[in-house]
Amino acid sequence: MSTSTLRAASPTAHGTSELALGAIGVVFGDIGTSPLYTLRECLKAAGGVSQTNVYGIVSLILWAIIIVVTFKYVCFVMRADNDGEGGILALTALASEVAPVRLRKVLLTLGVFGAAMFYGDSMITPAISVISAVEGVTLVDAHLTEWIVPIALVILTGLFKLQKRGTGAVGKVFGPVMLVWFVTLAVLGIVNITDHPEIMRAASPYYAFIFLTRAPATAFIVLGSVFLALTGGEALYADMGHFGKTPVRLSWLLLVFPGLVLNYFGQAALVLSKPSVVAQPFFESAPSWALIPLVVLAAVATVIASQAVISGAFSMTKQAVQLGLLPRIPVVHTSSREIGQVYVPFINLTLYIAVVFLVLFFKSSDNLAAAYGIAVASTMLLTTLLMYFVTHSLWKWRPLATIAVIVPMALVDLLFVSSNASKVMDGGWFPLLAGGALFTVMTTWHKGRELLVQQIRSDSLPLAPLVKSLTAGEHRVLRTQGTAVFPGGVADATPSAFLHNLKHNGVMHRVNIFMAGSTDNTPHVSDEEKVAVNDLGNGCYTVLVRHGFMEIPNVPAVLKLVERHIPEWHFEPSEVSFFLGRDTIVATGQSRGMSLWRERLFAFLARNAAQAAEYLSLPPNRVVEMGGQVNL
């Protein structure tokens, strides 16, 4: 399928309202269910209910949402889309393209670390969201407490099984439900605000300032819980490519933001008038007759909350594979119209296993809240640092304007990171451990690929002179009918599969196409710019293929483009043989820049990567694989 076919359709093509409804169902689930536990955790960290605590905390929540989500992400960071795609890896590619060469490796490291932390957050969000909703059943019957974990596991299992149907299908189902959820949040908030209207005075930042300055040590700890109201902001940016920035912005400003704010203020009003409800202020805010329907709605909404980070993890994985940060992983396109909508079976299974572990290990939303925040807060800080290079080098802002915007945002992010650092020993170690492991894998794979290419270049014969000697020199060989294609090679180096074919069969095909690929820092490359063909003479050609980091290589589709550049050759699939080298990587401990244990890790990852034939969309009955060995 060509790039033009796979490009995401514009909002006009689908209808902005349809995409906005899908965005409500997928993008805002995480941040939309934060009212289930945020105010409760904040008041617990503050030491209990008092007018100063309640006014100060709800004011902090409001202004944190305005500054971090509305201003930073919706109004600022979402402007830095990379050809429509969002997420920290897309931002890293965009920043690296315009940053000074000496800083590009540093930016790549920051981006990779941020991506690894995002994966850590993707594991916790489903667990805490679903458990927090299921805990509402204890208000119906206290004896149901022992069923919280089993019910949560059943719900989560159903969610992860649903992923293979695709983000678009999930969004159509979840969108109307989340529309009802946000309207419910707003209605519950308005009802409780009506009983205690003076709570609206907390909209003034004065109360947040008083709370922060009255007891700075306590306020610093509380900020770690206030941050729970912001989790989902980074997923909002990562999922932007699924629906487009305009539908996401409209959904946030017209529905999600008002619904959240009204509900937080409604809960605050309730706990001021009835401090005894502080253990479950969200569920207690509903009348008794509505409790069971609200618990059911909350359970469904928290399933949807998990969708935002899961679909964001799928998109990020696809980007990471193309950018050379992860081994080949099968990626399934779930929509013929939206290239951003993908399903990654391996990531889905990995997240499911991690989520089940978290539910069984932590058992309650209170315990999980202690583990939540540090990973996504780190990602948010790294996003701000990367935005400096976008504003300064790409958008050409004046230095004073760049500093005036970036520094305050970085300070806010740093404050949240440091306040969440106190949670590390209480559970924050899990996302850091998971993120650290993924960071090690990604940096090892990236470095290993660099060393592998260097080794192949040093061990291989130059391609052009060899082809000339075999086709026109004294060492010419027999030619056979058909076309031989050698995908996945290194530019100007002779593929090992070509040499093995010569050694074992003693012939060359009438047409030989040597393909080498590269990934651009843009999500998509047009068909006109995708291939560059160089004629080596006597039916031999080198083809340099450029892909965007959101594209999956498709060799047969590329050959249709190559056909335009070789008038005397016609692409006939039944006459083409694809020769792949299956090299065994041997860790020797002698490479520069990588220790023996990392060499072994790279070799392990290479052995377990997806089959090249499947990843490159090659017809199985036309593929010939030939083994070799590369010593690092």
Token output for 267: 């809960």
* 302 occurs within a structural domain: yes
User: Which of 251, 271, 133, 307 shows the shortest CA–CA distance to 195?
Assistant: 271
- The average pLDDT across 149-153 equals 92
**pLDDT given at position 8:** 40
pLDDT 10s digits, 491-516: 888 888 888 888 888 889 999 999 99
Quick check: 245 pLDDT over 90?
no
Token couple for 141: 């019957």
Residue 101 belongs to some domain of the structure: no
- Reference 40, options 295, 277, 362; nearest CA is 277
Return the half-sphere exposure (C-beta side, CA atoms, 13 A cut-off) of residue 548: 22
**Residue 406 placed within a domain:** no
Helix (H, G, I), strand (E, B) or coil at 518: strand
The C-alpha atoms of residue 164 and residue 183 are separated, in whole angstroms, by 29
Is residue 52 domain-shared with residue 179, that is, in the same domain? yes
Does 104 fall in a domain?
no
Which amino acid is present at 253?
Answer: L
**pLDDT exceeds 60 at position 169:** no
Same domain, 351 and 492: no
- Residue 346 and residue 209 in one domain: yes
The DSSP 8-state label assigned to residue 7 in this structure reads S
Please give the torsion angle defined by the CA atoms of residues 602, 463, 460 and 610, in that order, rounded to the nearest 10 degrees.
Answer: 20
Say whether pLDDT at 436 is over 80.
yes
Look-up of token digits 């609206």: 200
Q: Does residue 283 sit within a domain?
A: yes
Same domain, 355 and 456: no
Report the C-alpha gap between 526 and 13 in whole angstroms: 20
Beta strand 342-343 with 332-333 is antiparallel
CA trace torsion 31, 37, 40, 43 (10° rounding): -40
The single residue listed with the structure tokens 């080794």 is 455
Report how far apart, in Å, the C-alpha atoms of 24 and of each of 122, 188, 288, 305 are: 18, 19, 28, 10
DSSP label of 483: E
Distance, in Å, from the CA atom of 504 to the CA atom of 423, rounded to the nearest integer, reads: 62
Which secondary-structure segment (H or E) carries 533?
A: strand 531-537
3-state class (DSSP) for residue 492? coil
Burial of 275 (0-12, 13-18, 19+ CB in 10 A): middle
**Residue whose C-alpha is closest to residue 495's, from 504, 505, 485:** 485
Give the Cα separation of 320 and 326 in Å (integer).
6
Query: Which residue range(s) make up the domain with 552?
Result: 448-631
| Tens-place pLDDT, residues 564-598 | 999 889 898 888 999 988 778 888 877 777 889 99
Q: How far apart, in Å, are the Cα atoms of 17 and each of 10, 45, 339, 606?
A: 12, 40, 19, 44
What pLDDT is attached to residue 5?
Answer: 30
**Residue 374 lies inside a defined structural domain of this protein:** no
Q: End of a domain among 364, 396, 428?
A: 364
**What is the 3-state composition of the chain as percent helix, strand, coil, each rounded to the nearest 5?**
70, 10, 20
Q: Tokens 């058909």 belong to which residue?
A: 482
131 lies in the same domain as 259: yes
328 SS3 class: coil
**335 and 459 housed in the same domain:** no
Is 95 inside a domain boundary?
A: no
Pairing between β-strand 531-537 and β-strand 540-547 as defined by DSSP bridges: antiparallel
Tell me the per-residue pLDDT of 47-80, one tens digit each, with 9 for 90 and over.
Answer: 989 999 999 999 999 999 999 999 999 999 999 8
From CA 631, how far away is CA 31, in angstroms rounded?
48
199 contacts 272 by C-beta, under 8 angstroms: yes
Among the candidates 364, 382, 404, a domain finishes at 364
611 and 481, same domain (yes or no): yes
Give pLDDT, residue 15. Answer: 67
Lowest mean pLDDT among 112-126, 147-161, 302-316, 497-511: 302-316
Residue 115, helix vs strand vs coil: helix
- Determine the pLDDT at residue 301: 87
φ, ψ of residue 141 in degrees (nearest 5)? -155, 115
- Number of folded domains in the chain? 2
Look at residue 99 in the predicted model and tell me its pLDDT. Answer: 83
Domain boundary (364, 397, 430) is at 364
Residue 581 main-chain phi, psi, to 5 deg:
-90, 125
Output the pTM of the full model.
0.81
Task: Quote the tokens at residue 79.
Answer: 């402007």
- 434 occurs within a structural domain: no
Q: How far is CA 269 from CA 42, 49, 188, 189, 227, in A?
A: 15, 11, 11, 9, 20
In a shared domain, residues 358 and 467: no
Res 333: pLDDT: 66
Q: Are residues 358 and 487 in the same domain?
A: no
pLDDT at 171: 56
What CA–CA distance (Å, rounded) separates 145 from 364?
Answer: 10
Integer Cα distance of 78 and 57 in angstroms: 28
- Same domain for 146 and 46, yes or no, is yes
pLDDT in the model for residue 226: 95
Contact 390, 95 (CB under 8 A): yes
Kindly report, residue by residue over 175-192, the tens digit of the pLDDT.
888 999 999 999 999 999
Q: Helix 291-322 vs helix 148-162: angle between axes, to the nearest 10 degrees? A: 50
**pLDDT value of position 222:** 95
Match 């503050």 to its residue by tokens: 46
**8 A C-beta contact, residue 248 and residue 27:** yes
